[in-house]
């Protein structure tokens, strides 16, 4: 089980590559790659989750010794690009720049706050509560998604649809871990610190993470670049 986290992360990169090369335009590939590169930085937050949420053996045993690991960077890279592009993978969505007049609409006064709301909520709750970090992450991403929804209601269909598509992909992906390494979840996840509820062997919290991540991350590129679906 020493390299399960590494192998599992590399499988995600395989899924990423399949989706990337199936995209039909350079614009979509650029979106997927750019978001993945930025999302990979989320892997640096791993010390917040080890050992409170889980304690995965990693390459050079870095996670258990330092909290940081290479696998988290790879994993974050993979999920970021997949979450932001899966809607385009299932639907023939095309985009255009928002006009200056559209940008001046009242709800866009909160554009910057909506973009920063997820990390603000996360670190606020992390500092003032003792809630397990995985629940804080779910609350922060859901809250950030709702603020985005208010600021960019034109993206709500993409956000909701992407959340459930990403959940489905993540569910199948997680099953590969269970099949390859029976008992890995019970050994590595800190089930006593969370609900302990397993669905098909997968912690409930992983489903919540997938839904909330797909919800907020699917709108990130459009929100940052002022694009809307035609």
The sign one gets for the Cα dihedral 72, 178, 131, 216 is positive
Integer Cα distance of 83 and 158 in angstroms: 11
Q: Which domain holds residue 208?
A: 4-229
| 3-class DSSP assignment, residue 204 | helix
What 3-state DSSP class applies to 203?
A: strand
| Measured distance CA(143)–CA(171) in Å, rounded | 23
Task: Please state the pTM of the whole predicted model.
Answer: 0.92
> What is the predicted pLDDT for the residue at 164?
96
| Residues 85-143: tens digit of each pLDDT | 988 877 777 777 877 677 777 777 778 888 899 999 999 999 999 999 999 999 999 99
Q: Is residue 204 predicted with pLDDT exceeding 80? A: yes
Quick check: 189 pLDDT over 90? yes
Number of domains in the chain: 1
Exposure string over 124-162, b if 16+ CB within 10 A, otherwise e: ebeeeeeebbbbbbbbbbbbbbebbbebbeebeebbbbb
User: Distance between CA atoms of 216 and 223, rounded to whole angstroms?
Assistant: 10
CA–CA distance, 65 with 50 (Å, rounded to integer):
10
pLDDT band for 194, please (50, 70, 90 cuts): very high
**Percent of the chain beyond pLDDT 90?**
70
User: Is residue 180's pLDDT more than 90?
Assistant: yes
């Amino acid at each position: 089980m020493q390299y399960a986290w590494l192998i599992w992360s590399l499988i995600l990169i395989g899924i990423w590559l399949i989706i990337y090369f199936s995209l039909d335009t350079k614009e979509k590939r650029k979106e997927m790659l750019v978001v993945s590169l930025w999302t990979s930085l989320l892997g640096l937050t791993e010390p917040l989750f080890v050992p409170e949420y889980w304690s995965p053996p990693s390459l050079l045993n870095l996670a258990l010794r330092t909290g940081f690991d290479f696998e988290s960077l790879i994993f974050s890279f993979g999920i970021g690009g997949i979450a932001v592009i899966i809607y385009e993978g299932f639907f023939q969505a095309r985009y255009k720049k928002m006009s200056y007049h559209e940008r001046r609409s009242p709800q866009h006064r909160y554009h910057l706050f909506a973009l920063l709301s997820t990390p603000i909520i996360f670190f606020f709750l992390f500092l003032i509560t003792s809630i397990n970090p995985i629940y804080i992450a779910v609350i922060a991403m859901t809250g950030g998604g709702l603020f985005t929804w208010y600021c960019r209601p034109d993206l709500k269909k993409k956000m909701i649809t992407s959340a459930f598509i990403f959940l489905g992909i993540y569910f199948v992906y997680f099953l590969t871990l269970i099949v390859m390494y029976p008992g890995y979840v019970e050994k590595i996840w800190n089930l006593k610190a969370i609900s302990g509820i397993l669905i098909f062997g997968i912690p409930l919290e992983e489903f919540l993470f997938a839904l909330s991540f797909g919800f907020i991350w699917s709108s990130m590129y459009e929100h940052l670049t002022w694009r809307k679906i035609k």
